[in-house]
Structure 1
Amino acid sequence: MKYLIIFLGSLLFALNISVTILPQKWVVKAIAKDKVNINVMVPPGNSPATYSPNFNQLKKLKNSQIYFSIGVPFDKKYINKIKEINPNIEVVDFAKYIKKDSNPHIWLSPALLMLQAKVVLDTLIKKDYKNKDFYLQNYKEYIQKLANLEKKGFSEIKQKVFLTFHPSFHYFAKDFLIKEIAIEKEGKTPSFSYLAKIINLAKKENIKTVIISPEFSTKYAKIVANKIHAKVVIISPLNEKPTTTINKLIEVLK
């Protein structure tokens, strides 16, 4: 009974935070631990490009003090609605310190995760200064884990080019100075002539790995993989723990 009261008390006095996608939850948790309650707007198995929030999710926003956006289509579509539901919510962009292009997948790069962790740290200290040392210690530990992961990637990745359907691993490739070739072009289904071009390029680059995401069509990626005799690996960019996803990518590209 005693421990139940302590647990309920910690939940009651924790900060209420909403995030757009699961990988953000893990970054926030890495810094805040049990001092936050986190509401994820796009649940597992759904695409942030097409998902619409339900009534209960919108209701939870009323209790959130902070909303961490990340620049996916869901944010662009609903951010004004979120502010309308809760005018007092502080909206903080995970890409605050990041120079990025139109590709939103910034959570799959150790270097960019470090910058996102700093955004979380600054925001938490601003809202909950009394726990500054706690957040700072967790931040330092998380940064060290990311630095170790980046070091591992540079030492172990041997394949310099890989193929994917949707360009989900764009910043991962940039971080490790390798090349991602995407079959999907500007969000459109590839034409047969474009597929033929991709196949020729893949043969020229001697690509041995095609990485596909379960959130997108696997049809065209498998066609190309068969033509170039490459292995097909399924990795979701939206897995909850981004460091695990990055680790999987490193292992695949050994």
Structure 2
Amino acid sequence: EGHHDEEGQLGTSLDPHIWLAPSNVQKMGEQVLNHLLEIMPNNSESLRSNFLKFSSEVKELDQEIKEKLAKSRNPKGFLVFHPAWGYFAKEYGLQQFSIELEGKEPSPAELIKELKEAQNMGIRNIWVQPQRSSRMAKTVADSLGGKIFELDPLAANWHDSLRKATNRIVEN
């Protein structure tokens, strides 16, 4: 059935990387604010002020990503080794193609199918996570005439991680 999905769902497993979509981060921030207001009502002014700053930064990043992607003539998708970027893909109307599914490398037939779909969209490069690099990623990049880029969905700097992902799509 293929390993790509814009919904953040991959096969029968759920993509846990919900923080890679700014709209989800915004919602999580609102929930955190509400819980903190319940347990720390005396700090409501600073909590609200900090949340407004945070919310503004998230919205600015979201707008920056939308503008960069709108100007790009490059593919509206990307190829990853491990399917961690489903929510990011859904957020921006992109398609995530994945080599690995549910922690397993694909069969030769599945790999050929994914590579053909990625090639048909003009995708040449593959993203790998520093935690999950693979020799197969090099084989895939070589077969597409592309490069391997390391992108960390678990990076400490969330803003930079999303900017880097966006730039990789634009630069494909």
Mark yes or no: TM-score above 0.5. Answer: yes
Given that 2:8 and 2:90 are in contact with CA atoms closer than 8 Å, whether structure 1 keeps it comes out as: no
Q: Counterpart of 2:44?
A: 132
Greater relative contact order structure (CA < 8 Å, 6+ sep): 2
- Paired residues for 1:15-94 under 5 Å: none
Cα RMSD over matched residues? 1.7
Structure 1 stretches of 4+ moved >4 Å: none
60, 67, 76: which one aligns with 1:160: 76
Q: Deviations over 1:82-117 (max 9, x none)?
A: xxxxxxxxxxxxxxxxx9751110111111110111
- How far does residue 231 in structure 1 lie from its aligned partner after superposition? 2.3
Q: 2: distance between equivalents of 1:228 and 1:242?
A: 29
The answer on 1:203 being equivalent to 2:119 is yes
TM-score by structure 2 length? 0.84
TM-score by structure 1 length? 0.58
Given that 2:76 and 2:95 are in contact with CA atoms closer than 8 Å, whether structure 1 keeps it comes out as: yes
Task: Give the length in aligned residue pairs.
Answer: 156
Q: 2: distance between equivalents of 1:148 and 1:209?
A: 27
SS of residue matched to 1:233: strand
- How far does residue 218 in structure 1 lie from its aligned partner after superposition? 2.2
82, 89, 101: which one aligns with 1:173: 89
Q: 2: distance between equivalents of 1:142 and 1:224?
A: 39
Structure 2 stretches lacking a partner, 5+ long: 1-6
Q: Counterpart of 1:19?
A: none
SS of residue matched to 1:214: coil
Q: Which amino acid aligns with 1:103?
A: D
Q: 2: distance between equivalents of 1:212 and 1:155?
A: 25
The answer on 1:252 being equivalent to 2:168 is yes
Q: Which amino acid aligns with 2:25?
A: L
- Structure number with bigger Rg: 1
Q: Counterpart of 1:61?
A: none
- How far does residue 241 in structure 1 lie from its aligned partner after superposition? 2.1
Q: Deviations over 1:180-213 (max 9, x none)?
A: 1111123212122222222222221110331110
Q: Deviations over 1:6-58 (max 9, x none)?
A: xxxxxxxxxxxxxxxxxxxxxxxxxxxxxxxxxxxxxxxxxxxxxxxxxxxxx
State the identity as a percent.
28
Q: 2: distance between equivalents of 1:162 and 1:100?
A: 14
